[in-house]
Amino acid sequence: MTLWRYRFLIRNLVQRELKARYRGSAFGIAWSLLSPLLMIGVFTIVFTVLLPSQPIGVPYPVFLLPALLAWNFHAAGTLGGMQSVVGNAGLLGKVSFPREALPISSVLANGVNFLLALVILLPVMFLLGVGPSFLWLAFPVVFLAQTMFTLGIAFFLSAVNVYFRDTSVIVDVVMLAWLFLTPIFYDLRVIQAHGGIDLAQLVPLLNPMATYIAAYREIFVTHATPGPFFLGRALITGLITCGLGFWIFRRLSRGFGDVL
């Protein structure tokens, strides 16, 4: 209830972060659209020309785009949320408000960027022959689940980072490894077809981001209906991660004033 009373503060913090991100930039918020396009071009050349890894029956840019946008949201939300408390130490000493508002606003700001970047997804899909589907209606469910998952990690890391400033260095390495362990640039079905273990089943169980990315691909690309167990697992994972991260943040936040 306390956070609900401060919802206007959270909204203002989100707006402040979005304005600060593009302040002084010639293209401004258009970078939310241009940056993914540039990245898609680079990775398409790398993984279709230099290191061929063509997914089964899917144009590579369409295969890559939903996954890359979802990962960018997760990575930026995690790293931004981790620095949100330390980066606003001066504000904490001047104004009384729920500390949880800082990582929340950081993750939500990156969620807005993710939604804006999806604008480029539809034209790319149409150009490559992938049409609309009623399954797009499932997008809010997956987006909510991923937002809760990212927010839970941001809660935890932002609190730990107050006491242990080497957290950011460690997380940078972990996020890089996590990036390549998540099926963003490659198709697990291709690896499985070459005689490996059943990675298509194992990886989503061990890596929640693989579940969210698979859900986005089913919704936007393959138009395969995500099963109730699949969506339920995504929601439960997000809810548990968010709840646990929030609980840890609340306990550790009691000592922020002694450290910051």
Nearest to 212 by CA among 132, 112, 138, 103: 138
Count Cβ atoms below 10 Å from residue 16 Cβ, excluding itself: 12
56/145 Cα distance (integer angstroms): 27
Residue boundaries of the structural domains of the chain: 2-255
Q: How confident is the model at residue 176 (pLDDT cuts 50, 70, 90)?
A: very high
Q: List own/partner pairs for 226-235 with CB under 8 A and 24 or more apart.
A: 226/135, 226/138, 226/142, 231/138, 231/141, 231/142, 231/145, 234/141, 234/142, 234/145, 234/146, 234/208, 235/141, 235/144, 235/145, 235/148
For the chain, percent of residues with pLDDT exceeding 70: 82
pLDDT score of 25 more than 70: no
Residue located via tokens 């970078």: 31
Residue bearing the bigger pLDDT, 260 or 209: 209
Query: pLDDT tens digits, residue range 226-246?
Result: 777 778 888 999 999 999 999
Please report the pLDDT score of residue 195 as a whole number. Answer: 54
Mean pLDDT to the nearest integer, 150-171: 94
- pTM summary value: 0.86
pLDDT band at 136 (very low <50, low <70, confident <90, very high): confident
What is the token pair recorded at 111?
């969620």
Average pLDDT score over the chain:
82
How confident is the model over 193-214, as a mean pLDDT? 75
User: Mean pLDDT across the stretch 32-49?
Assistant: 68
Q: Say what the pLDDT of residue 33 is.
A: 64
